[in-house]
Structure 1
Amino acid sequence: MKKRLSGCSECGDDTAILTQVSSGPEVILLCTDCYNLKHSNETQNHIGYEEEKS
């Protein structure tokens, strides 16, 4: 099975600007919306963890 490198790995959008989010042999590309959503979720999880820790 071949993986398309011209689209977002999450939503498959091939018209948006893509950001590479991996540095290993497998290339993972995300569109701006998916990247922002993933980054905001990770930030919220980190903030929640810090609040629980206190």
Structure 2
Amino acid sequence: MSVKRKPPVLQQKKEEVNKKAIAWTAASLVVLILIIVAVIVLANAGNQ
């Protein structure tokens, strides 16, 4: 008789880590874009 094994629990943790990584990456990109826009606006304000 073969015993069916349950799927490993690590897969759920990997999915959670991936979601966190995606969230951190997206947040970092948004912050980076905001900083770039702020620098461009300040540079244009200084030239006028």
- Taking structure 2 as the reference length, the TM-score comes to 0.52
Q: Structure 1: any 5+ residue segments left out of the alignment?
A: 1-12, 19-29
Larger strand proportion, structure 1 or 2?
1
Segments of 4+ in structure 1 off by > 3 A?
none
Flag the structure with more relative contact order, 1 or 2, with Cα contacts below 8 A and sequence separation at least 6.
1
Q: Percent identity?
A: 6
Root-mean-square deviation (Å):
2.4
For the pair shown, the structure with the greater C-alpha radius of gyration is: 2
Q: Structure 2: any 5+ residue segments left out of the alignment?
A: 1-16
Larger helix proportion, structure 1 or 2?
2
- Taking structure 1 as the reference length, the TM-score comes to 0.47
